[in-house]
Chains A and B, each alone.
Chain A
Amino acid sequence: SYELTQPPSVSVSPGQTASITCSGDRLGDRYVSWYQQKPGQSPVLVMYQDTKRPSGIPERFSGSNSGNTATLTISGTQAMDEADYYCQAWDSSTVVFGGGTKLTVL
């Protein structure tokens, strides 16, 4: 079965750039979405179709996907960005989520 691998945690200082990776075999051949989940809340879409931001998502969020790795980048990270982030892709008739990355803004 297809797997997506994310680092369990990423730390960043306020105002700096955070990069959260998602790895999978030939992931660049698929489209990846990203979700943000804050404690006690439902997931929220922050990136779709690799690089597209939904309305209402700040411009500091950007995405890329090439080779075996998709990356969600948060520029000028703010305290409010502290959350769990999940990547997601389809494989055949199955939806696959990465294990999630806890972003800590120190």
Chain B
Amino acid sequence: EVQLVESGGGLVQPGGSLRLSCAASAFTFSDFDMNWVRQAPGKGLEWVSYISSSGTTIYYADSVRGRFTISRDNAKNSLYLHMTSLGAEDTAVYYCARERISMVRGATANWFDPWGQGTLVTVSS
């Protein structure tokens, strides 16, 4: 069964740093683009970052650009999110998600499947 398991969440003080990990299994990790998506308590989904299968293309949401760094180690089947200068607004459950892509009539369709179970990051003093 395709599985994504996040880890590394926890309580961190404002201004602190944290590194999240996402361990992939039961699929060829190096063939897939990956994303991080977060959800603040009681709020909706917010996309955080994207990394291509090779790691050469990376995108960030404006809210985290310059503070968060996405990376991957295809040899370890792992995705990472290094977060710095954390603030209360970063408190959320962080999900990793595998991206699926298809080309349809010259256009690209992208979707996320599956998602991990999430890891909670709480920024508080």
Contact = CB atoms under 8 A, between A and B. Distances in A.
Interface string B35-52: 101000000111100100
B100 A31 contact: no
Interface residues of B, number: 27
A31 B50 contact: no
Contact of B111 (A48, A94, A100): A48
Chain A residues touching B, range:
20 to 34
Interface string B70-105: 000000000000000000000000010100101010
A42 B118 contact: yes
A33 B112 contact: yes
B47 A97 contact: yes
A96 B112 contact: no
Interface of B: 35, 37, 44-47, 50, 59, 61-62, 95, 97, 100, 102, 104, 107-118
